Amino acid sequence: MSIITLASHSSLQILHGAKKEGFQTEIVVDKKRQSFYKRFPFIDKFHVYSNEDEAVSLINNIQDSIFIPHGSLIEYIGMERVSKIRIPIFGNRSLFPWESNQEKKMKLLELSKIKTPTRFSDPEEVDRTVIVKLPGAKGGKGYFVARSKGEVKDGIRRLLDKGMVNDQREIIIQEYVIGIPMYFQFFYSPIFRRVELTGIDIRYETNIDGLKRLPSWISQEPSFVVAGNIPAVARESLLPAVFDYAESFVATTREVVPPGIIGPFCLESIVTENLDVIVFEFSGRIVAGTNLYIDGSPYSWLYWDEPMSVGRRISREIKLAKENNRTSEVTT
């Protein structure tokens, strides 16, 4: 059996882990990027595409394999094409449409009784500092912070003028929560029926993370473009609360989007000075912040006394499922 993924995001980690678990590894790669991926000896087979339709037909022609989705899949290939992938996918494919709709996404968090920032559906309602976001995982491009409804309206007008959005309704306006970001990376294992904490990261974003280097008299508007990730550990007393969130989230997805979350997910949070964890977003798949931990994280060592990246953890789950005739519990 082979493990296959789309070249980008966390594909190196996924295939490196698959190889460690004894699988054949295959990558579907844009022809412009193949020379980069050819540098890595753990990738056994290359399927090179020139356009996104071709990518999907290549994926569908790979026999006896499981496809691993990651955070860039829908951004690169598009929701419609992803729905045409016919080979088994690790995880719950019914979650994809939920993930790409901000309303539905926040609803899943709220149904899980997870604290989330106040949302404003109309700029007119804005009564505090807010962050204005664009839809989809665009790596924070175009986001802005506004202190009043006037600033929100001006900012939205600029985005419409630049063609970055087509309709005001696409835009998300959230209360700007003051605190520090922490992205809690989890893994739900149907095989062990447990939630594992696989790591924590912080996105390293330009220019907001550079602004603190400037003296306060030089002011500059913050932007939130992700350029990398920084590792973090949380004080241990925060962990029971985030585990409660994670377990409740798994239970909600099982009820609302059966069979629920399978494998990696991430609760993207701000921790306030009262140590409240406010979740502003979730990812239902492997996040790029897990690339920090190819050799395992401080948390993965608590479950596995061996180096265990999330990429490898996915393949371990598939391997155990296969050995126990339970593959249908980890794929859809």
Stretch that binds ligand ATP, among 6-14, 35-43, 279-287, 297-305 (CB under 6 A): 279-287
Exactly one of 142, 181, 263, 264 binds ligand ATP (CB under 6 A); that residue is 181
Exactly one of 7, 59, 109, 177 binds ligand ATP (CB under 6 A); that residue is 177
Q: According to the annotation, is 9 in a ligand binding site?
A: yes
For 271, other C-beta atoms within 10 Å of its C-beta total 20
Contact flag: residue 126 with ligand ATP (CB under 6 A): no
Total of chain residues touching ligand ATP, rule CB under 6 A = 19
Contact flag: residue 184 with ligand ATP (CB under 6 A): no
* Distance between CA atoms of residues 201 and 183, nearest Å: 5
Residue whose entry in the numeric block shows the structure tokens 């959230």: 174
Exactly one of 21, 30, 196, 268 binds ligand ATP (CB under 6 A); that residue is 268
* Distance between CA atoms of residues 273 and 104, nearest Å: 29
Per-residue 3-state assignment (H helix, E strand, C coil) for the chain:
CEEEEECCCCHHHHHHHHHHCCCEEEEEEEHHHHHHHCCCCCCCEEEEECCHHHHHHHHHCCCCEEEECECCHHHHHCHHHHCCCCCCEECCHHHHHHHCCHHHHHHHHHHCCCCCCCEECCHHHCCCCEEEECCCCCCCCCCEEECCHHHHHHHHHHHHHCCCCCCHHHCEEEECCCCEEEEEEEEEECCCCEEEEEEEEEEEEEEHHHHCCCCCCCCCCCCEEEEEEEECCCCHHHHHHHHHHHHHHHHHHHHHCCCCCCEEEEEEEEECCCCCEEEEEEECCECHHHHHHCCCCCCHHHHCCCCCCHHHHHHHHHHHHHHCCCHHHCEC
Q: According to the annotation, is 60 in a ligand binding site?
A: no
Contact flag: residue 270 with ligand ATP (CB under 6 A): yes
Contact flag: residue 106 with ligand ATP (CB under 6 A): no
Q: According to the annotation, is 229 in a ligand binding site?
A: yes
User: Least distance in Å: CB of 33 to ligand ATP?
Assistant: 20
- Binding mask 238-257 toward ligand ATP (x if CB under 6 A, else -) reads --------------------
Stretch that binds ligand ATP, among 146-154, 240-248, 255-263, 280-288 (CB under 6 A): 280-288
Buried b (16+ CB within 10 A) or exposed e, 13-46: bbbbbbbbbebebbbbbbeeeeeebeeeeebeee
Contact flag: residue 289 with ligand ATP (CB under 6 A): no
CB nearer to ligand ATP: give 281 or 317. Answer: 281
Q: According to the annotation, is 205 in a ligand binding site?
A: yes
CB nearer to ligand ATP: give 71 or 190. Answer: 71
Contact flag: residue 280 with ligand ATP (CB under 6 A): yes
CB nearer to ligand ATP: give 58 or 79. Answer: 79
User: Least distance in Å: CB of 224 to ligand ATP?
Assistant: 4
Contact flag: residue 117 with ligand ATP (CB under 6 A): yes
Contact flag: residue 140 with ligand ATP (CB under 6 A): yes
User: Least distance in Å: CB of 302 to ligand ATP?
Assistant: 25
- Binding mask 189-228 toward ligand ATP (x if CB under 6 A, else -) reads --------------x-x------------------x----
For 132, other C-beta atoms within 10 Å of its C-beta total 22
CB nearer to ligand ATP: give 71 or 311. Answer: 71
Residues that bind ligand ATP (CB under 6 A): 117, 131, 133, 137, 139-140, 174-177, 181, 203, 205, 224, 268, 270, 280-281, 283
